[in-house]
Amino acid sequence: MHELVAQLLGSDLTVRAAAIEAAEKSSDSAVIEALVRLLQEPATGEQPRHQVADVLGRNGHPQAVFALQMGVSDADDIYRGLCACGLGHIASAESVSLLIRLLGDKVNTVRNLAERSLLQMPDSVSESGFEALLELLGHPVPLSRSPAARLLGLTRDHRALTPLLDLLKKDRQWLVRMWAVKGLGDLGLNEAFEALADRLQHDDKNRVRAAAAEAIGKLQHLQAEAVLSAALTDEDGGVRQHVEESLAKLKRAAQGHDEPEEHHEPHFEDE
């Protein structure tokens, strides 16, 4: 048996961990097969399986890529999630397509892992994932619509403006509205200013108002300072902190500085 394969499949956990890392650069089919066996076997353990998934993704061998791609359709949700993690290291149109499909998975953990992997490959998402993300905005599950909105903003594709505005105006789920707001902020188009100002002033959910304050700070609109200043009286302390940070950002921009200040996560009244 190949020495590295023996180490991968052996009982010494310390040796196995080192062997998994060493396998990243291997092109030996037997080594890839051993890694896939470890990934598929629950007895391997949670942390080592995550390590294996990452190594398979970074390895990039066709056999490793194929195993991860096939794994996203497995009945075992833990295995699907692990394969989603591995695909995050493979910036390709096929990976983007499979990961976006997993944003509609029935298991929230799988959706979260797929989103995290997509966030690692923004250029590939922009190049090949726009239409699929757009379709997800109509998904019946809010926890699928939300990451789609987030990722659409990060594409910086101007075609996302109208769909995100529609989602913001019509969706009754505050989490979806929050991510639509964040997506519009990342999109960076001043055409979204009025809708964002409206949410800052009138949304009944503090997290949405806070996100709107942050997004307005990114847009650098001529009326941004006035709208933000008026929101300094918001009843929620977390919202006020976001407003203050956005006002500070506008001030730095006006002075020609773009260095970010230290950010502190605000405390919201509903926590």
129-271 adopts what CATH topology? Leucine-rich Repeat Variant (1.25.10)
Residue spans in the chain of domains classed CATH 1.25.10.10: 1-127, 129-271
**Three-state secondary structure call for residue 256:** coil
The CATH homologous superfamily for domain 1-127 is Leucine-rich Repeat Variant (1.25.10.10)
261 pLDDT higher than 90 = no
CB atoms within 10 A of CB 63: 16
Q: How far apart are CA 172 and CA 215, in angstroms?
A: 20
pLDDT category at 258 given cuts 50, 70, 90 is low
0.75 exceeded by pTM: yes
pLDDT category at 39 given cuts 50, 70, 90 is very high
Across the chain, mean pLDDT equals 94
Tokens of 87: 């695909």
Q: How far apart are CA 146 and CA 143, in angstroms?
A: 5
* Closest-CA residue to 56 (of 42, 70, 45, 76): 70
